[in-house]
């Protein structure tokens, strides 16, 4: 059940009600009980695991969970079924689901520099849960903001049954109000402080997040600044809290070396093993196929499907999994759904792979669309390849759709199949040098300005301290080869 359904059930069962914020003690609108809140979180947590996936490093997972559980158990809502996970995404972000399900991305872990910074991030997300911010948003009927996710203009029924699943991941990224962000910042500061973390690192954490938001970015999820609207004085507020804090922090926990050792060898940026772009060509090395989108179209590899939008934003293409059914079964299932009218159909191979292809028209919430869909069987799996546009526009895109669909084929080139992701390495500096000099001696595959941000430095000319370890990024695909993909 998606959050939209759970919300409808909650409204049907509840009268307009107020509840007390567990953190602030203030009365707030609430149409969702704690039990319903936890159930919504559990359901969305299953979707996170299925569509984003956890980062495959049990030791790192346990490390992050241990930090989070200490703070959560000492919070105002210790009895929630708290869970903390690292998700396998390149974006620099963290997010919270209702009921105590907290996530940080591997992209965030690779961008910050010590355990105290991580504690303030996780504490911030715990603060969203303890303050019941998501429940408050839902209760204010802001559920209309929750779309099908990136890339699908089909109705939910059409998207689900076509196998080109519209994702509900936007459920995870409600934009909180400025007051909610301030409340979460304050809670995160307090939770981290109560565990004897050096909360001065919260300022550095915000500076890193600001710096990374200005970089090219990556990943399938939004970046921090898209999901955590930044109060204009967020850093100033943190500094003001420190000014009024009458506590000696000289022995507070920072744990930079221990933290860096934990993230050593973590994947940095997009993982090409999950599919990557080379211009308008999409290559999936593990599934061993390639597909070429129309030149000049804006492309993105999302958790649900690989999508492309025309320069005029009046047409779209998607490539996704349709399952283990035959092409004809997948086509019949898609075309038999309510609201879809089948057009001319054919069964033909695409580069030697069995396929079932059909024109179609469909009625969606945004009006009528028309397009071309082909289901192709390849290496035991059927893929759905679809192009569609607004009603009346198919004549302009028919050949474009056909040309792209016909490009689906096997990959045999070892240079395309053997790509590996970039990873973080650590180098201990034994003599004074600038970051520029460090990058010349130990080159990274990211720009030196980005290297400065992920090392918590002011810029390329910053001086490095002897005896300390610094990050470099090695390997991966040069970014210019992926310039056409959206970030």
Cα distance between residue 79 and residue 37, in whole Å: 13
User: Would residue 383 count as lying in a domain?
Assistant: yes
How distant, in Å, are the alpha carbons of 105, 108, 302, 335, 477 from that of 119? Answer: 14, 12, 29, 50, 32
Does residue 235 fall inside a structural domain? yes
Q: Are residues 222 and 335 in the same domain?
A: no
Higher pLDDT, 206 or 477: 206
Q: How confident is the model at residue 19 (pLDDT cuts 50, 70, 90)?
A: low
Across 249-273, average pLDDT: 95
Residues 402 and 387 in one domain: yes
Confidence tier at 192 by pLDDT (50, 70, 90)? very high
Q: Give the pLDDT of residue 27.
A: 56
**What is this structure's pTM?**
0.79
Asked if residue 268 is part of any domain, the answer here is no
> Rounded mean pLDDT of the chain?
84
Rounded average pLDDT over 106-132: 96
Banded model confidence at residue 232, pLDDT cuts 50, 70, 90: low
- Per-residue pLDDT of 304-324, as tens digits, reads 789 999 999 999 999 999 989
pLDDT at 30: 52
Domain edge (last residue) among 400, 416, 432: 416
101-105 and 83-87 strand pairing: parallel
Which residues contact residue 46 at a Cβ distance below 8 angstroms, ignoring those fewer than 6 apart?
Answer: none
* pLDDT of 217 strictly over 70: no
Say yes or no: 184 and 75 in one domain: yes
What is the pLDDT at residue 28? Answer: 56
**β-bridge partners, 320:** 384
Question: Residue 377: pLDDT band by 50, 70, 90 thresholds?
Answer: very high
Is residue 381 exposed (0-12), middle (13-18) or buried (19+ Cβ within 10 Å)? middle
Are 234 and 285 found together in one domain?
no
The region of weakest confidence among 203-212, 441-450, 475-484 is: 475-484
The yes-or-no verdict on residue 449 having pLDDT over 50 is yes
User: What domain count does the chain have?
Assistant: 3
């Amino acid at each position: 059940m998606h959050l939209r359904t759970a919300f409808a059930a909650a409204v049907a069962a509840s009268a307009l009600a107020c509840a007390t914020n567990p953190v602030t003690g203030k009365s707030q609108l609430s149409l969702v009980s704690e039990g319903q809140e936890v159930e919504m979180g559990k359901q969305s947590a299953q979707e996170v695991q299925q569509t984003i996936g956890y980062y495959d490093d049990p030791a790192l997972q346990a490390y992050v969970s241990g930090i989070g559980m200490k703070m959560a158990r000492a919070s105002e809502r210790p009895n929630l079924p708290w869970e903390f996970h690292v998700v396998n995404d390149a974006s620099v972000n963290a997010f919270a689901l209702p009921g105590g399900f907290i996530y940080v991305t591997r992209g965030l872990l690779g961008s910050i520099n010590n355990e105290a910074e991580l504690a303030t991030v996780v504490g911030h997300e715990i603060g969203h849960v303890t303050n019941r911010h998501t429940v408050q948003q839902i209760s204010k009927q802001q559920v209309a903001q929750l779309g099908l996710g990136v890339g699908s203009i089909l109705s939910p029924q059409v998207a689900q049954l076509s196998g080109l699943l519209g994702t509900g991941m936007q459920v995870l990224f409600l934009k909180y109000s400025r007051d909610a962000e301030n409340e979460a910042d304050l809670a995160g500061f307090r939770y981290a402080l109560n565990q004897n973390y050096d909360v001065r690192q919260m300022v550095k954490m915000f500076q890193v997040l600001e710096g990374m938001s200005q970089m090219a970015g990556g990943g399938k999820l939004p970046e921090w600044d898209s999901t955590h609207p930044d109060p204009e004085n967020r850093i100033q507020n943190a500094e003001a809290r420190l000014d009024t804090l009458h506590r000696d922090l000289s022995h507070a926990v920072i744990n930079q070396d221990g933290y860096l050792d934990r993230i050593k060898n973590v994947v940095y940026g997009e993982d090409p093993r999950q599919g990557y772009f080379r211009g308008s060509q999409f290559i999936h090395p593990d599934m061993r196929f390639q597909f070429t989108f129309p030149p000049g179209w804006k492309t993105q590899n999302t958790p649900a499907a690989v999508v492309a939008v025309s320069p005029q934003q009046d047409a779209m293409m998607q490539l996704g999994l349709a399952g283990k059914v035959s092409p004809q079964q997948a086509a019949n299932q898609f075309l038999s759904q309510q609201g879809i009218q089948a057009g001319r159909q054919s069964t033909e191979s695409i580069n030697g792979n069995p396929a079932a292809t059909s024109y179609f028209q469909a009625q969606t919430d945004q009006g009528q669309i028309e397009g071309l869909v082909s289901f192709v069987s390849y290496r035991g799996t059927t893929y759905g390849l679809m192009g569609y546009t607004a009603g009346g526009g198919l004549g302009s895109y028919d050949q474009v759709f056909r040309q792209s669909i016909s490009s689906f084929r096997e990959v045999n080139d070892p240079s395309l199949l053997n790509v590996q992701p970039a990873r973080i390495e650590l180098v201990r500096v034994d003599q004074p040098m600038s970051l520029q000099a460090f990058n010349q001696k130990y080159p990274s595959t990211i720009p030196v300005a980005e290297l400065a941000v992920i090392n918590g430095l002011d810029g390329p000319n910053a001086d490095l301290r002897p005896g300390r370890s610094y990050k470099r990024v090695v390997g991966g695909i040069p970014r210019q080869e992926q310039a056409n993909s959206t970030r």
